[in-house]
Amino acid sequence: MDFNVKKLASDAGVFFTRAVQFTGEKFGQVEKTELDAHFENLLSRADSTKNWTEKIFRQTEVLLQPNPSTRIEEFLYEKLDRTVPSRPNNGELLGHYMQDAAKDFGPGTPYGSTLIKVGDCERRLGGAQREFLQTSAISFLAPLRNFLEGDWKTISKERRLLENRRLDLDSSKARLKKAKLAESKAAAVPDFQETRPRNYVLSASASAAAHELRVAQTEFDRQAEVTRLLLEGISSTHVNHLRCLHEFVEAQTAYYKQCYLHMQDLQKELGRFPNAFAGNPVLPMASGGSSPQGNATLPPDAASAVETDTLKIEEVQAPATGTRKAKVLYDYDAADTSELSLLADELITVYTVPGMDSDWLVGERGNQKGRVPVTYLELLS
């Protein structure tokens, strides 16, 4: 073991000198070298960038993975440089359960067939979420983490070194000031028996202090320039994070658009089978030809809905009161001639007829008339 006593003593002396200088500054007993306004502005900007980047990074992690246990697990796998095991997310798991339930209830029943459709949609939503999380982790979280764990640590290290150089500089200034003060006092009140040797010693001490000050000033200026260059690089960091932010927004937009399209397709698919909500597969049968067993199981409201379906839509007349305006939320393609196709954002007149399924209304647009699903409308006053 190479144990250098001289170096240890020297480092201890430097540490003690810095501690004395720092303490004196805190109590306002010694002078402190102030940095220029531009440098202080760079320091403040860097601190603000670090603090907000850290908050944005942490909250984005919570947004992408709300489960804290999972976040801790992923963090440990990352630190151990191991691959996180793949597991289904909540959407994929829900879709899997729905499809398994459909097999148990019977895929031919209205509930079972609907579970299959919704389960498939949930699995696709889960897949879209998985892709969004992976894209966001690479394009947004990784650059922020690299800044916090790489660039910022380098900046912090150089700032600590600059602070030490400043303490050394101010200590040198204080020593030179004391040496000159002692020299001036000796010159003002000379001792004729010891004038020459004492003045020589004081002069040599002042010269050494001046040389030490020049060295400390050079080291401080050099370190200040290095730190300044790193702090000015924060502007480049902002540009990089801006690009990453755009990519994050694009990933979010693509994800939500994909979810919207999946749900819109599912809603349209379910909207084509309104009678499935009655919960009885006998509903599509005509009332005049239904079997005794079917009539026995049909509730009165469902029987009225069947009778409404058999009516020709042209024969339905708008009531004198009870009509309302409605705004169409989504495009809708009519499944047959009894339905009315819709365009998003258009206004139509809607009303209901006795015994009609509650999920449907009669819509009118000019001379056109037909059944429209309630879920595609926003009823206005």
234 and 358 share a domain? no
Q: Is residue 10 part of a domain?
A: no
Examine the pLDDT at 54 and tell me if it is beyond 60.
Answer: yes
268 and 353 in one domain? no
Q: Do 36 and 156 belong to one domain?
A: yes
Residue 44: pLDDT band (50, 70, 90) is very high
Query: For 36-45, 127-136, 166-175, 249-258, which range has the lowest pLDDT when averaged over its residues?
Result: 166-175
Do 75 and 150 belong to one domain?
yes
If we measure between CA atoms, which residue out of 352, 24, 317, 312 comes closest to residue 175?
24
Residues 166-191, mean pLDDT to the nearest whole number: 78
Range of the domain at 136: 31-189+203-272
Tens of pLDDT, residue by residue over 277-323, are: 444 443 343 334 444 344 444 444 444 444 444 456 767 777 877 78
CA gap 71, 63 in Å, rounded: 11
Q: Is residue 265 part of a domain?
A: yes
Total domains, the chain: 2
CATH label of the domain that carries residue 339? 2.30.30.40
| Rama region for 371: left / alpha / beta (φ>0; ψ in -120 to 50; rest) | beta
Domain boundary among 257, 272, 287: 272
Q: Same domain, yes or no, for 56 and 141?
A: yes
Task: Determine how many CB atoms are found less than 10 A away from the CB of residue 108.
Answer: 9
Does residue 288 lie within any of the structural domains?
Answer: no
Residue 81: per-residue pLDDT = 74
Give me the pLDDT at residue 291, please. 41
Which CATH number do you get for residue 252?
1.20.1270.60
pLDDT in tens, 282-294: 334 333 444 434 4
What residues contact 111, with CB distance under 8 A and at least 6 apart? 102, 105, 279
Q: If 0-12 CB within 10 Å is exposed, 13-18 middle and 19+ buried, where does residue 137 land?
A: middle
